[in-house]
């Protein structure tokens, strides 16, 4: 899945979809998108000092809250874990490290309790 496909999928097709599975590329490209846009907004805010840009950054963060949680839950589902594992990230340092390891792990092969594997879907780059 490419950068544009990942962002488009998360923001348009699966905005608040907490069921199913998400590939690593979908999760990490969406995460990269949110980091890049936040970085650009922070630089603009620092350079211009415009209060409107800070409001825009807050709105952007709020707009991405639900899809970020949804794609994180779907990514954990892809590794065979419950979405509740996202809460381990609230534990300082150790929780964040464990969560990154879970999110960066390979997909669970074959169907699991959360659905069929997304890597084996006909027409996906994995089977093409």
Task: Give domain status of residue 11, yes or no.
Answer: yes
Task: Give domain status of residue 75, yes or no.
Answer: yes
Task: Give domain status of residue 64, yes or no.
Answer: yes
Q: How far apart are CA 18 and CA 42, in angstroms?
A: 29
Task: Give domain status of residue 95, yes or no.
Answer: yes
- Give the count of beta carbons closer than 10 Å to the beta carbon of residue 5: 13
Task: Give domain status of residue 67, yes or no.
Answer: yes
Task: Give domain status of residue 30, yes or no.
Answer: yes
E-strand stretches of 15-120: none
In degrees and rounded to multiples of 5, residue 14 shows phi and psi of -130, 40
Comparison of pLDDT for 72 and 118, the residue scoring more = 72
Q: Give the pLDDT confidence score for residue 126 in this predicted structure.
A: 47
pTM of the model: 0.85
Q: Give the pLDDT confidence score for residue 120 in this predicted structure.
A: 61
Domain encompassing residue 51: 3-104
Task: Give domain status of residue 70, yes or no.
Answer: yes
Q: Give the pLDDT confidence score for residue 121 in this predicted structure.
A: 54
Task: Give domain status of residue 32, yes or no.
Answer: yes
Is 33's pLDDT higher than 60? yes
Domain count, the chain: 1
| 74-85: pLDDT as tens digits | 999 999 999 999
């Amino acid at each position: 899945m490419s950068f544009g496909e990942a962002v488009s999928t998360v923001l348009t097709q699966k905005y608040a979809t907490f069921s199913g599975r998400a590939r690593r590329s979908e999760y990490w490209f969406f995460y990269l998108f949110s980091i890049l846009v936040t970085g650009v907004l922070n630089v603009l805010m620092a350079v211009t000092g415009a209060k409107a840009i800070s409001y825009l950054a807050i709105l952007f963060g709020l707009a991405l809250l639900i899809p970020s949680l949804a794609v994180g839950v779907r990514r954990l589902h892809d590794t065979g874990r419950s979405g509740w594992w996202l809460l381990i990230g609230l534990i300082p340092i150790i929780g964040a490290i464990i969560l990154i390891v879970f999110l960066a792990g390979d997909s669970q092969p074959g169907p699991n309790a959360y659905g069929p594997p997304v890597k084996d879907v006909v027409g996906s780059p994995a089977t093409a």
